[in-house]
Structure 1
Amino acid sequence: MSPNGQSFLLDPEKRTGPTRYAHARVVQPSTHNTIYISGIAAVSPDGTYEGVKDNGDGSFTVDVREQTAAVLRRIDNIIKGASNGKADLYNIVDSTVYILDMKTQYADMNAEWNKIWADRASAPTRATIGVRELPDPRFAVEIKATAIFEA
């Protein structure tokens, strides 16, 4: 079993294609600790923004792949710190991804996501939501997650 519980997929024999998420994850909460991770974006504690290129004219360009990778690294560090090194990204059971433009950004976000979770057996459940704006105009991606680890 994966460290984030057992994957459940409705009608797995009828599924085709590379679906990289489970419909549900089954965990035994009495033997696990739970970490609830706030929405995390690609800004470092020192105030720098990953995946943002300053165009020099007051505007900027955002790289969704780079931001997604940065957000996942930050979440990994949060989980490792909160669990005293007992857990990492693979302990995430549920997540919500917020992006600004589903048409132009979803594929790039999903490509970075799939670098971490190559199959649905280990991938957390996920909702991806297109939003009008995020807290800072330099953010293209924000991810909220819940992870579990053995007590």
Structure 2
Amino acid sequence: MSSPPVAPAPRRPLILLRASAGALAALALLQTVLAASYLNGHYDSLAPHAATATALAAAALGQLAAGALVRLGGRDRRGPRGPLRLAALVTAAVILQTALGYQHAIGLHVVLGVLLVSAVLFGLVDAWRLPLPARTAAAVPDPDGAGRLPRPGGPVEVAQ
């Protein structure tokens, strides 16, 4: 038995998911630069690496909230489960990664960091692969109707 088709994700939560995935990816890539700097002997980069870890955890929670909004969808439909599942996995991995960093478990910390950055980048790509629904007529305020194009297939009036 197959599952029912998944409705497209609602517009605003999907935009929020894309923004949070972009922020999360930028922070994850910054973490790699700071970690490489630390491993190359620039020990002053450890403090910004720890501070960025806190920002990364906050961004992961933001993406988790956005994934939940995408999944909940509108009144009569639910969006895809994938963004919520990946956001939950990334959030758990960020928490584990932070704990491993503070425990100085460098071997596990580096391996999980590579996997975490990969998951974050896959999440970014997936967020942008979900189709963005068109704006509804109610979302575009145009009280006098000026500037609207005729509907496809409808009559076209030509002013002389």
TM-score (norm 2): 0.26
In proportion to residue count, which structure has more helix?
A: 2
TM-score (norm 1): 0.27
Greater Rg by CA: 2
In proportion to residue count, which structure has more strand?
A: 1
